[in-house]
Amino acid sequence: MSSFFNDRIPHQRDSLHAFSGGRIERWSEGRESLDTQAALAGDNAAVYLLRDDRALVRVNGEGLLAGFTPAEAQELGLDANSLIVLGIAEAGARLAGHVAPDLALPEDIKVVDLRSLAIEGAMAQGELAALAHARSYLFWHDANRFCGRCGSRLEVKGGGASRFCPSCSAEIFPRVDPVVIMLAIEGERCLLGRQARFAPGMYSALAGFLEPGETIEEAVRREVKEEAGIMVGRVAYHSSQPWPFPSSLMIGCHAEALSDDVDRDAAELEDCRWFEREEVRLMLAGDHPDGLKAPFPMAIAHHLIKAFAE
Domain boundaries, the chain: 28-143, 146-174, 176-309
Domains 28-143 and 176-309 in one fold: yes
Q: DSSP of 72-132, one letter per residue? A: HHHHTTB-GGG-EEEEE-SSSEEEEEEB-TT----TTEEEE-HHHHHHHT-S-HHHHHHHH
135 three-state secondary structure: helix
Is the backbone peptide bond immediately before 246 cis, with ω within 30 degrees of 0? yes
- Among candidates 213, 205, 293, 296, which has minimal Cα distance to 251? 205
User: Over its length of 310 residues, how does the chain's per-residue pLDDT go in tens digits?
Assistant: 667 877 666 566 777 799 999 999 987 777 777 789 999 999 999 999 999 999 999 998 778 999 999 999 999 999 999 999 999 999 999 999 999 988 899 999 999 999 999 999 889 999 999 999 999 999 999 999 999 999 999 999 999 999 999 999 999 999 999 999 999 999 999 999 999 999 999 999 999 999 999 999 999 999 999 999 999 999 999 999 999 999 999 999 999 999 999 999 999 999 999 999 999 999 999 999 999 999 999 999 999 999 999 9
**Phi, psi (rounded to 5 degrees) for 119:** -65, -40
Evaluate whether 295 touches 305 at the Cβ level (below 8 Å): yes
207 three-state secondary structure: strand
Q: Which CATH number fits domain 176-309: 3.30.420.40, 3.90.1150.10, 3.90.79.10, 3.30.1330.50?
A: 3.90.79.10
How many Cβ atoms sit within 10 Å of the Cβ of residue 242? 21
Containing 306, the helix (H) or strand (E) segment is helix 300-309
Evaluate whether 249 touches 243 at the Cβ level (below 8 Å): yes
pTM: 0.92
- Beta-strand pair 46-51/93-98: parallel
Angstrom CA distances, 145 to 46, 139, 227, 244, 299, stand at 25, 11, 36, 20, 32
CATH 3.90.79 corresponds to the domain 28-143: yes
Q: Can you tell me the distance from the alpha carbon of 90 to that of 24, in angstroms, rounded to the nearest whole number?
A: 8
| Contact residues for 199 (Cβ-Cβ < 8 A; gap 6+) | 293
